Amino acid sequence: MPNSRQTSSISSRRAFSFVEIIIVVAILSILGAMVIPRFNDQSNLARVNATVKDLRTFETAVNVYAMKNNGSMPTTNSELQSEVEAYLPAGSTSAIPPIGGNYGFHSWSDSDSAAVAVWGALFPTLRVEIDREIDDGNLTTGRVRSGPNNGVIFYVFGPIPATPPS
């Protein structure tokens, strides 16, 4: 029969000590700190890819409209949006962009140019990533430019006008 000293030694080894629990929690915290940013990066990458897909779809629709109308753009922004909607899935122009905000269509009839924009982006830092995917990675040059209100403007047809949309 075991004495009381052996019994207490055996029963105390069935549980983890406070120090062992603290070490396990610290290790899990370190692993979590390494993994969570990767999930966040993947979420941002998904937002960028989805926004780029939408902008490319809108670009294609604007170009189809332009081909059917001999390269002429409508005189108003709302007319451009309503004309382009015929070449898009229902509700896509009123959908919320993956980076937040709203889509907008802009037409310059004097230069027969058109642009698609995202206004009020909730993730404005992703605008540069969108520019890298579509253009040159610089929001001050090329076909993708920085716009007001955390916006990004994608010039999809014709020359880039001197006056950006507001």
Tell me: pLDDT of 17 over 60.
Answer: yes
Q: CA 27, 29, 35, 38 torsion: positive or negative?
A: negative
Q: Are 116 and 105 in contact (CB under 8 A)?
A: yes
Place of tokens 């610290």: 26
Task: Return the SS3 of 107.
Answer: strand
Going from N- to C-terminal start, the domains of the chain cover 17-157
Task: Return the SS3 of 145.
Answer: strand
Whole-structure pTM value? 0.77
By 3-state DSSP, what share of the chain in percent is helix, strand and coil, each rounded to 5?
Answer: 50, 15, 35
Q: For 27-41, 92-106, 119-133, which range has the lowest pLDDT when averaged over its residues?
A: 27-41
Report the C-alpha gap between 142 and 155 in whole angstroms. 9
Please give the mean pLDDT across all residues of the chain: 88
Report the C-alpha gap between 98 and 105 in whole angstroms. 17
Rg, the chain, Cα only: 27
Q: What is the pLDDT of residue 18?
A: 87
Q: For 10-14, 20-24, 73-77, which range has the lowest pLDDT when averaged over its residues?
A: 10-14
